[in-house]
Structure 1
Amino acid sequence: MGITERWRGETAAKGTEHSTLLRSSFPAFVCLQGALYAAYGIESPFLPSFLGERGLSSGEIGLVLAAGTLVRLAAGPVAGHIADRYAATRLVLGFAAAAAGVISFGYLAAHSFWTLLAVSMAHSVAIAALAPLADALALTAAERERSFSYGWVRGAGSAAFVIGTLAAGQLVGALGLASIILASGLMFLAMAAATSRVPAAPARREAPIEGLAGVRTLLAQPLFRRLLLVAALVIGSHALNDGFAVILWREAGIGVGTISLLWSESVASEVVVFVLAGPWLLKRFSPAQAALLAALLGILRWVVMATTVAVPVLAVSQLTHGLTFALLHLANMRLIGEMVPDHLSATAQTLYGTLGLGVASAVLTGISGLLYGWLGAGAFWVMAGLCCLALPLAPGLRRKGA
């Protein structure tokens, strides 16, 4: 075969792949995750400022945000259990997204601490399981259709978060803080509409789970408990970075423009790993090996943060974010997909989001403030220590016989 014929054959094959991808549920999941994370990106950076504009003190803002966190931690597993109990993951997701959009607008009518607290708690109930349930549907579809990777969908969500955050800054500058409430509410409603376009989870053969038996079944599995613990240690160790890296860099005299570039670099690496590098790596590495790599690079990253504020060194270390967070998340999604039966997938995702990520991040965020006030940059040594604790646990993240 000549070069021209081979080129034509490769081009035709690529065209077929693209056509298959467009006919799959991938575009619908991109819209779903894009709307979800755009809503998060628009709302989360500016909600505290909005609450302050409504007259809340810093202490009251903290109480509102803390109450919302506690409500999400409780509501997430309940929503997952309902989705599994009635085999209605897509229905629960669509209803919750619509409720999140409608309740968001309640912020615009609230002006006192108690009304804002009530709206925040109701909104937190609605959004508690959005990401885990969306992940459950995407994982099932990716495994069933084989035409796209879950990482591509999740990478689209990360990109949408960045775009949403950038758009929110423009909206606030032009229209004021109330505009972010309107915009995020509309994004949640767009997510509800997109939910109707993604495929529902396939019909299951197993009998429905009664009561909290599904939660007990999952937590009784040593492998699932180990997965939660490794996620809590490695992904949870990012809490100090998320809350205090910018403060540390500004205190060191690093300019706002440079800080924005450093932060954007880490998000860009996350997208690259979700979309490209992660799926490639997980074809060659087991979840246990990926978790071990994430923990090792986590140690390296936090040691760098503890010892230097040199911008060139920070620029290199920020590139590891895609591996310390996104690769481990992808590995955990793969392991959950392999070890958890279909009739417990939504429950497993909400437990992972609540116990593996939510509780760990909430606790470590609170501890991080104390650590940073006491140790300054040295607090990152503690985060490196958490990743060290994950090292002996990571190799056990494999199913028997795997």
Structure 2
Amino acid sequence: MPAGLRFSLLYAALFFELGVNLPFFPVWLRSQHLDDGRIGIILAMPLLARVVANPLVTAVADRQERLSGTLLTCAAAVAIGTPLLGATTTFLPILLLVAAIGLAQGPLIALADAVTLRATRTAVPVDYGRVRLWGSIAFAMANIAGGMLLIWFEPDMIIWLLTASAWLTALTALTVARLPSTQQSERQAFRASGSVGRLIVLVVIGAACVQASHGLIYAFGTLHWQSAGIGTGTTGMLWALGVVSEIAVFAIAGRLVGNARAAMFLLLSGAAVAAGRWLCMAFDPNVELLAVLQLTHGFTFGATHVGSIVVLAQLAAPAMQAQVQGWLAGAWAGLMALLTALCGQVYAGWGERTYLFMAGVAATGMVLIGLAALSASRRSLALQAPQKMTEPLNRLE
């Protein structure tokens, strides 16, 4: 099976599970007769687990040079743990099991990104954007499939759908693990100086700010639109526009980030668009303007995501490739959890004006990313990829 197809299937399986989990796992929790407070605690647990597990697991994977093996181990643990949820019915067992699954599931995307980016350095490179877009497509398909299945089946169906996607993720991780690894002799020789370390920190925190600024629209976007009289069908269309734009950006991202300077520019552009998007959202735009703003999601999320992981992959030492992706994912998850909880308190009084706060968070990320770009230029730390990374990443095998 061609390498590009293996990675496409991996991302599709990973994000299909997320597409079921995010909207429908709360429905299953409610069917277990849990109150809102306990449901909130359970839903927060995977985010907290990610903050802890991502840096630790990815660091171990880097030290042992077992990125693909660690990816497979984590995927297998999720596949084993998920069906056990079907045998739990009370709060504490569900919480403990969700925490255990979260510790294994949290690092999966960071590890998948690190393994995929390693594949871009091979003689027949894999286009990250064009394999990652299948994750977005699968996420949208899972939203549709889960909603339709709930019409005909009881909420217990959700656990078995999650189980099926977890096993599919493990199988696709196995196919990726069987690919030949990049040999040590092929890796770019690089020693991380203090200057590069500071650049990595700036990029991680800056990108995390931009991504976490989406927390308000994820949590309260639909509720606010419904309170403003926007119908369910129109709301679904607005979310679909965001997914379509995200897929479009991933489809062309390989051509946009042929080198790390371009990736930094893409990252900075995503941050700037995010600040503008939330600023406009704060003034309660009409449906037509909302549609335009949703189309910017490809930049505010997609461009920020691709730009940040490519810049970090090219700044970091070979022995830190998974770690930097783990730092990014952990920082993003922790900050989003904090901002979402904070917005839950602020939104009650501020309403749509809460987006001003999100615009400030995104602008802070833009400043930090801008400082990283400026620092790289002043210190002559040319953001230049290894030779094999500078080739256009536009082939899907």
Query: In the TM superposition, what is the alpha-carbon distance from 1:106 to its structure 2 partner?
Result: 1.0
Measure the CA separation in 1 of the matches of 2:319 and 2:184. Answer: 7
Q: Which has the larger radius of gyration?
A: 1
1:1-400 aligned at under 5 Å gives the runs 24-198=2-176, 199=179, 201-204=181-184, 221-276=197-252, 278-283=253-258, 286-355=262-331, 357-398=332-373, 399=376, 400=381
Is residue 205–residue 328 contact of structure 2 (8 Å, CA) maintained in 1?
no
Larger displacement relative to structure 2 (391-400 or 310-319): 391-400
**Number of residue pairs matched by the alignment:** 371
Is residue 287–residue 397 contact of structure 1 (8 Å, CA) maintained in 2?
no
Opposite residue 336 of structure 2, the aligned amino acid is: S
Measure the CA separation in 1 of the matches of 2:167 and 2:286. Answer: 44
Measure the CA separation in 2 of the matches of 1:222 and 1:380. Answer: 30
The TM-score normalised by the length of structure 2 is: 0.88
Q: Give 3-state SS (helix, strand or coil) of 2:367's partner.
A: coil
Measure the CA separation in 2 of the matches of 1:83 and 1:47. Answer: 30
- Aligned in 2, Cα 1:180/1:200: closer, same or farther, shift over 3 Å? farther
Is residue 137–residue 200 contact of structure 1 (8 Å, CA) maintained in 2?
no
* Identity value in percent: 29
Q: Mind listing any 5+ residue stretches in structure 1 that lack a counterpart? A: 1-22, 207-213
Q: Give 3-state SS (helix, strand or coil) of 1:286's partner.
A: helix
Is residue 98–residue 192 contact of structure 1 (8 Å, CA) maintained in 2?
yes
Measure the CA separation in 2 of the matches of 1:186 and 1:114. Answer: 24
Query: In the TM superposition, what is the alpha-carbon distance from 1:66 to its structure 2 partner?
Result: 2.1
- Listed one character per residue, the Cα deviations across residues 144-174 of structure 1 (whole Å, up to 9, x for unaligned) are 2444310111111111111111111122222
Opposite residue 292 of structure 1, the aligned amino acid is: L
Opposite residue 295 of structure 1, the aligned amino acid is: A
1:401 alignment partner, one of 367, 382, 393: 382
Divergent runs of 4+, >4 A: 216-220
Opposite residue 163 of structure 1, the aligned amino acid is: M
Q: Give 3-state SS (helix, strand or coil) of 1:105's partner.
A: helix
Measure the CA separation in 2 of the matches of 1:181 and 1:192. Answer: 16
Higher relative contact order (CA 8 A, sep 6+): 2
Q: Give 3-state SS (helix, strand or coil) of 1:56's partner.
A: coil
Measure the CA separation in 2 of the matches of 1:315 and 1:76. Answer: 35
Larger displacement relative to structure 2 (278-287 or 179-188): 278-287
- Aligned in 2, Cα 1:33/1:391: closer, same or farther, shift over 3 Å? closer
Q: Mind listing any 5+ residue stretches in structure 2 that lack a counterpart? A: 384-397
- Listed one character per residue, the Cα deviations across residues 183-208 of structure 1 (whole Å, up to 9, x for unaligned) are 111111111111222225423369xx
Measure the CA separation in 1 of the matches of 2:194 and 2:147. Answer: 42
